[in-house]
Amino acid sequence: MICPNCGAREFVDEHCKYCGTRVSAVQTQAKKEPEVIVKVVERQAPPQIIEKIVYVEASPSEVLQPSPQNTNVKSLGVAYFLLFSLWWVGGHKIYLEKKTWLLYFLLTATGYLGIRSFDNFALSIMCFLVLGLMCFINLVTLPSQVREYNSR
């Protein structure tokens, strides 16, 4: 209880000890001191984003270099087209940058010269049979050859 007149807190028989003002129970309830409630809330700091910047020293020519990926990718469709159209000179082997195209060319030239001269007709038949067998094998293995070229 607090005396409304002087603010004292000591009372004798509902009268202020210092000024004698009568203080009733209703007045004391009405003039209660406000309670101060303090809540302590622990807050966690928000996670911090740490950015790291890495500086690399490089010359302009190094920065502008393209990535070391194979930019010369060969198509399976083009390889099959060359196999069917230029089989006699190994066009598909030239396309895949294999040196075995020379074997195709030599077999074709030998077979052609054997037919032209009629002296070695059996040799020319043999050359064209070997050439046909090689083309058939390439018909089956061409996808793996293109994949091998593109993976280098």
Handedness of CA 86, 89, 92, 95 (dihedral sign): negative
Distance, CA of 64 to CA of 53 (rounded, Å): 20
What does the longest C-alpha to C-alpha distance in the chain come to? 152
Q: What is the pLDDT of residues 22-57, one digit of tens each?
A: 877 545 444 556 666 665 656 666 667 676 766 666
* Mean pLDDT, residues 128-136 taken together: 92
Residue 90's CB: how many other CB atoms inside 10 A? 27
Q: What is the pLDDT of residues 109-119, one digit of tens each?
A: 888 887 777 67
DSSP bridge partners of 48: none
Structure tokens that stand for 9 in this block: 């807190």
Q: Measured between alpha carbons, how far is residue 42 from residues 47, 48, 145, 146 in Å?
A: 15, 18, 68, 66
Q: Given this model, what pLDDT does residue 23 score?
A: 74
Looking from the CA of 73 toward its CB, the CA atoms found within 13 Å total: 8
Q: Given this model, what pLDDT does residue 26 score?
A: 46
Distance, CA of 141 to CA of 118 (rounded, Å): 34
Distance, CA of 111 to CA of 51 (rounded, Å): 72
Q: Given this model, what pLDDT does residue 109 score?
A: 87
